Amino acid sequence: MSSKINIRSLSLADLIESITSIGEKSFRAKQIFEWLWKKNVGSFDEMTSLSKEFRDKLLTTYIIDKIVLAEKQISSDKTIKCAFRTHDGHIIEGVLIPVKNRMTACISSQVGCSLACKFCATGKLKRLRNLSFSEIYDQAFIINQIATEHYDTHLSNIVYMGMGEPMLNYTNVKISAEMISSEDGMAMSPKRITVSTAGIAKNIKKLGDDDVKFNLALSLHAAQDNKRSKIMEINNSNNLEALAEAIKYFYEKTGSRITFEYIIFKDFNDAMNDAQELAHFCKNVPCKVNIIEYNPIDDGEFSQAETQKVKAFANFLESKNIIVNIRRSRGKDIDAACGQLANKNALTG
């Protein structure tokens, strides 16, 4: 096991202390920090403003654990799915979603997932480990580069909706979002960042206590406990009453509107009584609802709701003065759509 220090695990203050401890001037730490984050280099040799002697010294003391792009697939609708390889050989996935006036990166927070939601391909995998905040940051940085290369524009939004449950990797998710929005990092407005959770009530409250500046989305998918528990085991320990209390607390602390994500399934949660239950739940906090088209996964037991039922569902919510967006699938032909990540990864079989 390497005794070298993972240099990207250090804050700027920690890096200054570490660099001075090996006999270097503190301003060198600021140079290194810029190379690591603003330029996102993967080796000390790329830090060309530093002397060869200093770079060799860094190499004997530190490691850089940057993820690398292992593969990318481009959909017929221009969505790009990225497979990233971590320093210890795991494959994680992220997606670039280009739509009119918006360029969104969907990024992962864990290798695999422990929640086993029935409609999600990632949920069929085991959770192997949390991603570090630098590995989460790398995904956003690399996908931003891809957006520039392919579409000549930078990311407008980042969503933590890829592999894993962000609220079960709380600290790394929070730090990564802070780095993405920092002037020392990608300098993206935190209001352009959304963290999505299946519903870990205590950590939703912690977000409020920490006064986070990014947006929060709750993967709801049913507003009745028995029904939600059938598709999301997490509801057994974090039921709708607990989640309602948590999102109220979050809103009181941050003043940030909540987004409810609602994947609509045929003959399961697409009826008018389901819409009524959702409208009732929406009374808890100022919110908006994203109705998401279901994307089939291998051995999935659900199917897409009929278009007319989706429209009727949305119209009912709008009649209750609820902001509603119907999200159409992107990247289905390369299994990059919502819920499909890890479904058919060309690198893993």
Where does the chain have alpha helices with state H? 12-21, 27-37, 52-61, 133-151, 170-181, 201-209, 225-231, 240-254, 272-281, 307-319
The catalytic residue among 82, 117, 287, 338 is 338
H/E stretch holding 159 reads: strand 157-160
Residue by residue, DSSP assigns 95-155 as EEEEETTEEEEE--SEES-SS--TT-SGGGSPP-EEPPHHHHHHHHHHHHHHHHHHHS---
Q: What's the Cα-to-Cα distance from 310 to each of 33, 123, 146, 275, 314, rounded to whole Å? A: 49, 25, 34, 10, 6
Give the other-Cβ count within 10 Å of 23's Cβ.
7
Both ends of the chain: CA-CA distance in Å? 30
DSSP state of 203: H
Catalytic one of 24, 46, 93, 301: 93
Question: Any catalytic annotation for residue 93?
Answer: yes
117 is catalytic: no
Residues catalogued as catalytic: 93, 338
